[in-house]
């Protein structure tokens, strides 16, 4: 299997990242700014608008993709930092806790392709410190499955990044894809379309989430249970700095449970999650579903992100 491993890029188990990285490599890494994270990055940040608001300071690409969260984002970023050329100036990374690995997913390719020894230990330790040993166990099973290459040989042998989901690049080939486009052109069985229809039939779930997140902000400096995640982010920040890259962490709207981690960080960071300060990110008019903004909301969000970005001490 080691001979097979050698031809695989570090992102090979994620079809969306494969397509986006293929595009970036084809452009010879033409960008100086990258956004990395889950669908909340992928669906909420419009690079063309962000760049126009920064008046030429940035030339950005959206590397977000569905369900791309720690530890996968940390594995990706660690290798990405070793790949990008010196012209790269900024990387904006979505802040998140280590993903809960459910039993049903522990043998899935997406769950284990990125689980080297470092990221297995990070994930297992983080959940152990957080009092959730079942997820530590699931990560251990997933790691062992990767070591034994269970159900990995065939997808590895047939891997071809040139045929992987080119639609994720979006209409402007900048990595951003508007969720409203899914509603118009997508299959009616698409989970995003079904979720949007359910949301529009009952929007009270969004109200409850906004209330829950607002209450999180009422508790100042809540203790951080797990220090492993914090240490990893600081290590990545240092690694980026050594390459001359400014790593910026962003707390996204509608994400719960990560405020203590955000407060513990002493690096460049942006918080756009507070409902009391940013009520526009919790309105039905700007929403596609309970977890995502629509196209209009993405425009509003990108403008606010650009403003906050410009307030940082930029290199």
Provide the pLDDT confidence category of residue 223 given band limits of 50, 70 and 90. Answer: confident
CA atoms within 13 Å, Cβ hemisphere of 1: 11
Instruction: Verify cis geometry, omega within 30 degrees of 0, for the bond prior to 71.
Output: yes
In a 10 Å sphere around its CB, with 0-12 CB exposed, 13-18 middle and 19+ buried, how is residue 248 labelled? buried
Rg (CA), the chain: 19
Q: Dihedral sign, CA of 172, 174, 175, 176?
A: negative
Q: What confidence score (pLDDT) does residue 1 get?
A: 47
Taking the domains of the chain in order of start, what are their residue ranges?
A: 2-311
In the predicted structure, residue 279 carries a pLDDT above the cut 90: yes
Range name among 45-54, 122-131, 157-166 with the lowest pLDDT average: 157-166
Cα distance between residue 146 and residue 289, in whole Å? 34
Look-up: residue for tokens 């459910």?
A: 102
Please give the model's pTM, rounded to 2 decimal places.
0.95
Which 3 state secondary structure label does DSSP give 94?
Answer: strand
- What is the residue-averaged pLDDT of the chain? 93
Q: According to the model, what pLDDT value does residue 185 have?
A: 60
pLDDT in tens, 147-193: 999 999 999 988 987 766 778 999 999 999 988 876 666 555 577 77
Structure confidence at residue 283 (pLDDT)? 97
Q: Which residues contact 243 (CB under 8 A, 6 or more apart)?
A: 81, 84, 86, 88
Largest Cα separation within the chain, whole Å, is 54
Residue 290, helix vs strand vs coil: coil
Tell me: the pLDDT tens digits for 65-113?
Answer: 999 999 999 999 999 999 999 999 999 999 999 999 999 999 999 999 9
């Amino acid at each position: 299997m080691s001979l097979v491993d050698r031809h695989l890029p570090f992102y090979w188990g994620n079809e969306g990242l494969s397509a986006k990285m293929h595009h970036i490599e084809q452009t010879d890494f033409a960008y100086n700014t990258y956004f990395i994270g889950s669908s909340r990055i992928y669906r909420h940040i419009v690079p063309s608008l962000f760049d126009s608001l920064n008046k030429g300071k940035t030339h950005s690409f959206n590397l977000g993709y569905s369900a791309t969260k720690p530890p996968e984002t940390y594995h990706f970023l660690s290798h990405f930092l070793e790949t990008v050329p010196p012209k790269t100036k900024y990387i904006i990374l979505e802040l998140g806790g280590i993903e809960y690995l459910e039993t049903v997913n522990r043998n899935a390719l997406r769950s284990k392709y990125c689980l080297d020894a470092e990221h297995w230990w990070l994930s297992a330790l983080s959940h152990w410190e957080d009092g959730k040993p079942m997820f530590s166990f699931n990560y251990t099973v997933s790691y062992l499955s990767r070591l034994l290459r269970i159900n990995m040989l065939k997808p590895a042998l047939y891997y071809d990044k040139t045929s992987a989901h080119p639609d994720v690049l979006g209409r402007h080939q900048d990595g951003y894809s508007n969720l409203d486009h899914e509603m118009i052109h997508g299959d009616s069985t698409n989970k995003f379309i079904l979720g949007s229809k359910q949301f529009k039939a009952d929007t009270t779930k969004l109200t409850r989430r906004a209330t829950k997140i607002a209450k999180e902000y009422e508790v100042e400096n809540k203790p951080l249970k797990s220090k492993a995640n914090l240490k990893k982010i600081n290590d990545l920040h240092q690694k980026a700095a050594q390459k001359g890259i400014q790593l910026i962490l962003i707390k996204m709207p509608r994400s719960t449970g990560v405020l203590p981690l955000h407060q513990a960080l002493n690096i460049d960071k942006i918080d756009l999650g507070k409902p009391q300060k940013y009520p526009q990110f919790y309105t039905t008019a700007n929403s596609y579903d309970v977890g995502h903004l629509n196209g209009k909301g993405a425009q509003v969000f990108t403008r606010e992100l650009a403003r906050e970005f410009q307030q940082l001490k930029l290199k």
